[in-house]
Each structure stands twice: as structure tokens, then as C-alpha cells.
């Protein structure tokens, strides 16, 4: 069971997220906070596996709360869920230690997939955010990666779609395979390309 703490100053947003999560057999909402000041002690007391964190909140904002929570418990996975996908919000959140960044207009399946991926150590990003991260990385530090060895034709297909910023569900739909199969291919690709996360894998694909 994935223990989740919801942090958002909008009551309707939290109610909707709780209903979505409570309908899943493997996700349990253990608490809610409407600002970062409330979230910090709640995280210490409830020990959630994943915190779904808004960024703009009164008092202590999501970036400050993320930094303080991770300073006390670095193993906590903090997944940003926000309306604001610009660089002024994205990079400070990642610098503070957020493991992923999703936009509030994401479909429910993408959010649920993001929570599950965050819980197992992955870094979920909305496709448009991932594309921008890759583009920024390519322009900031061009590099020639070592060639991947022994990619299958299907792994190459998946790698190309990761580079486009597609989510696991979108890749599955495009290739007419299951989401679990996509995850298996991505795990294999990360091993073969020596990529620690999805962003580096996408960067590898763009530089090949």
C-alpha cells in the first residue's frame, strides 16, 4: 500500500485527489494539508511514501516545504502537482528535491501512474515538461553518450517515444502493447544506457 499525503490549498482539488486515490486498491491517503507549514509536521508524523505537493500556497509554499521535509527525511518522495509548468517553478522544485513534476491538467491515469512510479523510485514528469527538460539539457551541455549495446527493435521504438516526452500510457497506446510491458522495456533501457532516470534516458535518446 502506497501511503500518500496531499498538500494543496484548494479544498476541491484535495477532495478530488482523495476520491481518485481512495478508489485504488494500492493507494491510501493518510493525510491532507492546505499549506506547507501544515505539511512539514504531518510528513514527520505520518511518514508517507509519496507527498503530492502543490507549489503556490499561502504561508510556506511548496518549494520551501519540499526542502524542509527532505532535510528531515530524505527518503520521502515528493511529487509536484501544479498549474504552473514554467521554468520559474520547475527548476526550483527540482533543486529542492522533488522527484517529479506533473501538471494539474494531466489525466487521472497519469497522476496515478506518477504516484506509483514515484513510490518505486522513478521520476514522473508531464510529457511537455520532460520535453523542455531534455531540450534545455541538450542545449546546455551537449555530449556524446556511449552507445547502448544490444537494444531490441521494440526497445528502440520505446526509446524513440521516451525522447518525444510520451508517458508510459501514451507509449503503450502508440505501440499497442501493455503499460507493464512498457515499464519493463524502460527498466531494461535504463540499464543498457546507464541512465539513472527517465530524464537522462530521454536525453540519451536525443543525443544518439
Higher pLDDT, 63 or 128: 63
β-partners of residue 3 are 28
Write out pLDDT tens, residues 101-128: 999 988 999 999 999 999 988 888 887 7
Domain ranges of the chain: 2-138, 153-206
User: Which residues neighbour 68 within 8 Å (Cβ) at sequence distance 6 or greater?
Assistant: 36, 40, 60
DSSP state of 125: B
Nearest Cα to Cα of residue 32 among 68, 2, 8: 8
HSE (side-chain half, CA atoms, 13 Å) at 107: 8
Residue-wise over 60-81: b if at least 16 C-beta within 10 A, else e?
bbbbbbbbbbbeeeeebbbbbb
pLDDT of the residue at 67: 93
CATH level 2 (architecture), domain 153-206:
Orthogonal Bundle (1.10)
pTM of the predicted protein model: 0.70
* Greatest mean pLDDT range, 85-99, 133-147, 165-179: 165-179
pLDDT range class, residue 206, cuts 50, 70, 90 = low
Nearest Cα to Cα of residue 76 among 47, 105, 117: 47
How far apart, in whole angstroms, are the C-alpha atoms of residue 201 and residue 186? 9
> In this structure, how many other beta carbons lie within 10 angstroms of the beta carbon of residue 102?
23
Asked if 40 and 154 count as a contact pair (C-beta separation under 8 A), the reply is no
Q: Give me the CATH topology for the region 2-138.
A: Rossmann fold (3.40.50)
Phi, psi of 145 (to 5 degrees): -75, 160
Residue 176 has pLDDT above 80, yes or no: yes
pLDDT of the residue at 149: 62
Query: Where is 138: in which H helix or E strand?
Result: helix 127-140
Amino acid at each position: 500500500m502506497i501511503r500518500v499525503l496531499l498538500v494543496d490549498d484548494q479544498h476541491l482539488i484535495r477532495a478530488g485527489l482523495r476520491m481518485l486515490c481512495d478508489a485504488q486498491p494500492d493507494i491510501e491517503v493518510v493525510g491532507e494539508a492546505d499549506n506547507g507549514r501544515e505539511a512539514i509536521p504531518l510528513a514527520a508524523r505520518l511518514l508517507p511514501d509519496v507527498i503530492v505537493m502543490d507549489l503556490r500556497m499561502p504561508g510556506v509554499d511548496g518549494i520551501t516545504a519540499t526542502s524542509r521535509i527532505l532535510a528531515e527525511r530524505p527518503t520521502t518522495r515528493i511529487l509536484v502537482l501544479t498549474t504552473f509548468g514554467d521554468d520559474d517553478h520547475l527548476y526550483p522544485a527540482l533543486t529542492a528535491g522533488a522527484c517529479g513534476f506533473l501538471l494539474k491538467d494531466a489525466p487521472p491515469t497519469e497522476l496515478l501512474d506518477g504516484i506509483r512510479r514515484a513510490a518505486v523510485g522513478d521520476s514522473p514528469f508531464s510529457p511537455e515538461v520532460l520535453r523542455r527538460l531534455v531540450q534545455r539539457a541538450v542545449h546546455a551541455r551537449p555530449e556524446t553518450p556511449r552507445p547502448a549495446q544490444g537494444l531490441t527493435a521494440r526497445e528502440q521504438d520505446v526509446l524513440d517515444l521516451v525522447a518525444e516526452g510520451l508517458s508510459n500510457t501514451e507509449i503503450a497506446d502508440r505501440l499497442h502493447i501493455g503499460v507493464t510491458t512498457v515499464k519493463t522495456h524502460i527498466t531494461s533501457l535504463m540499464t543498457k544506457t546507464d541512465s539513472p532516470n527517465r530524464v537522462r534516458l530521454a536525453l540519451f535518446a536525443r543525443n544518439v
